[in-house]
Structure 1
């Protein structure tokens, strides 16, 4: 009897591990599809970002151009405001570099993935790297019916994605993904100490770069009441190819 019980327990543990692995794989597949609903694998886009803070009378406005190639990196050039025009950012191999041609130095500065992107509520990683599957492992928490302001009452996957490494911008994120289209609706960001620090709502769903995608990202702070940043996709074009040479530190400082 004891031997039978031991075998049964081992079998149960094996099945539990197998089911968990299968669920994890499915959740990461959903996460991967969600990434592609936000951006093509290779693209060129122009974004406008506004940051609002209760202690400032006017929002800070920035316009920047971005080139992205999955598996290689991203290259960003600031177009506005005039004082920041020409600043460049390179994200490659998990590192983010900034170069300011007006600084009088040919050496780029390495930035933290967690730090604010140009004073906004978006982190450097949020802006420079649209992939979550590189840094997080996901599981399906639940499937719920949720009211989407543009799509109506829809079923949504609620995913929890936990950081794989200590250098990732957030400890975990909770993502609401529309089940039919796999378009994200809401993302909650938690610190490594598991405090809810920010929440992003994605809206403005329209046909852009060959697919239905959200084009407005509003990030609200839970640490500073009334503070929020909004990124709007002004234009986006899916590209067939971009040369890898564009994503290099020599190109950054050229």
Structure 2
């Protein structure tokens, strides 16, 4: 065997492994991207939702409307109950704001508040405002396939990039192979402990797409409480100007 042949025999397997690894990583990211775009819209979305916060001794119900545009903009308006009606939350790039009409006060939400429960629920402010991007802020690894509710799913691990300012230390996602639906998501803290699990239910056609219409969040350390969100209606890729996502609009929107 010539010296060049020996060299190629040594190099080529390594190159092949690198190419396969890169392809798998890219596939995992594309799977997550497709799932995210299906739920959020390729360009924008407008959704009407209800939320039930269940606790051992009480239950609260909320209604709200949510506007999103890409990964940079989000607006959420609480429409019920009466005592919280009119509260508005805005994400514009990396800045987050809350407007409370009862006290006429605008509050800028610091990054430290992103892990806190939104409106006292098990969804975080980060979940509600979509501060972090599951596509751009994480490194994705396809671990294999598993069944969730009789659905064949990709199992993907998400680890935050070094520069990403995110809430979670790791995310595990189960995404269906046929429709790219996020059937199950596990969120882990920075120490690697499971913090909460999100489960999708009631797959139906909504907004012209096959989607889960209900999501349930269960805290790992409080299995007797949960938060359930129902999508009442949703529109995708509706034209929304960037100027809509402003502090002035937060005070006007109804």
TM-score range, shorter chain: 0.7 to 0.9
CA RMSD of aligned residues (A): 2.1
Q: 1:171 to 1:161 in 2, by over 3 A?
A: same
Any stretches of 5+ residues in structure 1 without a counterpart? none
Are 2:46 and 2:238, in contact at CA under 8 Å, matched by a contact in 1? no
Count how many residue pairs are aligned between Structure 1 and Structure 2: 245
Deviations along 1:85-124, whole A, 9 cap, x unmatched?
110000121332111122233x332143222111111111
> Corresponding residue for 2:183?
185
- Matched residue SS, 2:141: strand
> Corresponding residue for 2:104?
104
> Corresponding residue for 2:158?
161
Q: Which residue of 197, 203, 211 maps to 2:195?
A: 197
Distance in 2 between residues matched to 1:64 and 1:133, nearest whole Å = 25
Are 1:114 and 1:168, in contact at CA under 8 Å, matched by a contact in 2? no
Q: Shift of the alpha carbon at 1:10?
A: 4.6
Q: Shift of the alpha carbon at 1:240?
A: 3.0
Distance in 1 between residues matched to 2:16 and 2:148, nearest whole Å = 36
**TM-score normalised by L of structure 2:** 0.88
The answer to whether residue 81 in structure 2 is matched with residue 74 in structure 1 is no
Regions of 4+ moved over 6 Å: 3-7
**TM-score normalised by L of structure 1:** 0.88
> Corresponding residue for 2:88?
88
Q: Shift of the alpha carbon at 1:147?
A: 4.8
Are 1:38 and 1:214, in contact at CA under 8 Å, matched by a contact in 2? no
Q: Shift of the alpha carbon at 1:66?
A: 0.9
Distance in 2 between residues matched to 1:33 and 1:211, nearest whole Å = 13
Any stretches of 5+ residues in structure 2 without a counterpart? none
Are 2:40 and 2:68, in contact at CA under 8 Å, matched by a contact in 1? no
